[in-house]
């Protein structure tokens, strides 16, 4: 059955301008890191995409190695785009990345011009697109000159294969160097994608200030700390959880101290009339330097919950201090 988007898709979503650019991104974006690979159920991830767009989520974030296997998330998204979403292409922001290992040999990862251009060409074929809206360098390369990596991003824009460029996982000093190069080349950096949550505070150690200074947007990934900032682990490790499977989130990371913090945060969220997941996302949204929050989802209800959370009340200063006290325990 052909999909038709909801006529009310733009009624509730909040859209924020990304840095100094003219581009607005939804307050909630959908990441396809997990749950969109060949190992996953097509009917489920189709419904995830459709429901997200119906709720005003216009930004879908991918990378060359998302799956598993590598490339399958892009291929599956491209097939759904071609069959159901093609008529909405101009309403969508589709992003991809390259930087991690993708194929064998010396040209299959990191940040050389050879790798980045080849990888994006492969991604465009899988996505069945002429261009992506945003193309990121996924991680800093310790060996390739930064100028080469940034000039590859500039080249990709000039070739019409991406409208904007971004970086991900760059520390503050390296990010500033990247921004300076891109500015000189004439392709300003649009956005930075760091790992950021209540449990991972690294961006507060200079990165947010660098982004603000340079007019670059911020889109945190893993806002729920791989599911820790939900009520999932309060009573143990469920068999269907990432921690049980030992993929990215390891069981030994779920310490008694962390569970104690999660329980206290969950109690506070209930007092505020929201779920812990909603509170964790809104805690990131409190900072105006954050343009959008990148969530993952395995169930439609998780997307609905995240979007519904946009209506939750703002934090008082007392509540923010209480959260800090819990996290400092």
pLDDT at residue 244, rounded to an integer:
45
* pTM over 0.85, yes/no: yes
Per-residue pLDDT of 137-165, as tens digits, reads 999 999 999 999 999 999 999 999 999 99
Per-residue pLDDT of 17-43, as tens digits, reads 999 999 999 999 999 999 999 999 999
pLDDT at residue 249, rounded to an integer:
67
* 3-state secondary structure labels for all residues of the chain: CCCCCCCCCCCCCCEEECCCCCCEEECEEEECCCCCCCCCCHHHHHHHHHHHHHCCCCEEECCCCCCCCCCHHHHHHHHHHHHHHHHHHHHCEEEEEECCCCCCCCCCCCCCHHHHHHHHHHHHHHHCCCCEEEEEECCCCCCCCHHHHHHHHHHHHHCCCEEEEEEECCCHHHHHHHHHHHHHHCCCEEEEECECCCCCCHHHCCHHHHHHHHCCEECCECCCCCCCCCCCCCCCCCCCCHHHHCCCCCHHHCCHHHHHHHHHHHHHHHHHCCCHHHHHHHHHHCCCCECCEEECCCCHHHHHHHHHHHHCCCCCHHHHHHHHHHHCC
pLDDT at residue 136, rounded to an integer:
99
Q: Catalogue all structural domains in the chain, each as residue range(s) with its CATH number.
A: 15-227+276-314 (3.20.20.100)
Residue 124 has pLDDT above 60, yes or no: yes
């Amino acid at each position: 059955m052909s999909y038709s988007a909801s006529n009310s898709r733009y009624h509730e979503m909040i859209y924020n301008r990304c840095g100094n650019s003219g581009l607005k991104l939804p307050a909630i974006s959908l990441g396809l890191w997990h749950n969109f690979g060949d190992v996953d159920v097509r009917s489920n991830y189709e419904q995830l995409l459709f429901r997200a767009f119906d709720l005003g989520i216009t930004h879908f974030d991918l990378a060359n190695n998302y799956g598993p296997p590598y490339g399958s998330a892009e291929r599956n998204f491209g097939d759904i785009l071609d069959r159901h979403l093609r008529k909405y292409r101009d309403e969508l922001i589709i992003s991809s990345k390259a930087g991690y290992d993708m194929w064998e040999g010396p040209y299959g990862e990191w940040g050389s011009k050879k790798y980045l251009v080849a990888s994006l060409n492969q991604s465009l074929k899988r996505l069945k697109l002429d261009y992506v809206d945003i193309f990121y360098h996924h991680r800093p390369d310790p060996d390739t000159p930064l100028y080469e990596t940034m000039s590859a991003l500039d080249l990709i824009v000039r070739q019409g294969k991406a409208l904007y460029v971004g970086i991900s996982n760059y520390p503050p000093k390296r990010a500033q160097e990247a921004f300076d190069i891109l500015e000189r080349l004439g392709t300003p950096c649009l956005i930075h994608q760091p790992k950021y949550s209540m449990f991972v505070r690294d961006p507060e150690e200079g990165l947010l200030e660098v982004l603000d200074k340079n007019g670059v947007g911020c889109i945190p990934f893993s806002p729920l700390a791989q599911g820790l900032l939900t009520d999932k682990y309060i009573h143990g490790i469920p068999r269907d959880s990432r921690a049980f499977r030992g993929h990215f989130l390891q069981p030994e990371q779920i310490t008694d101290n962390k569970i104690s913090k999660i329980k206290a945060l969950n109690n506070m969220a209930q007092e505020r009339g929201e779920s812990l997941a909603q509170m964790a996302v809104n805690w990131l949204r409190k900072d105006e330097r954050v343009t959008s929050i990148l969530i993952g989802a395995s169930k439609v209800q998780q997307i609905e919950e995240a979007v519904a959370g946009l209506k939750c009340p703002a934090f008082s200063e007392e509540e923010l201090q209480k959260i800090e006290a819990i996290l400092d325990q």
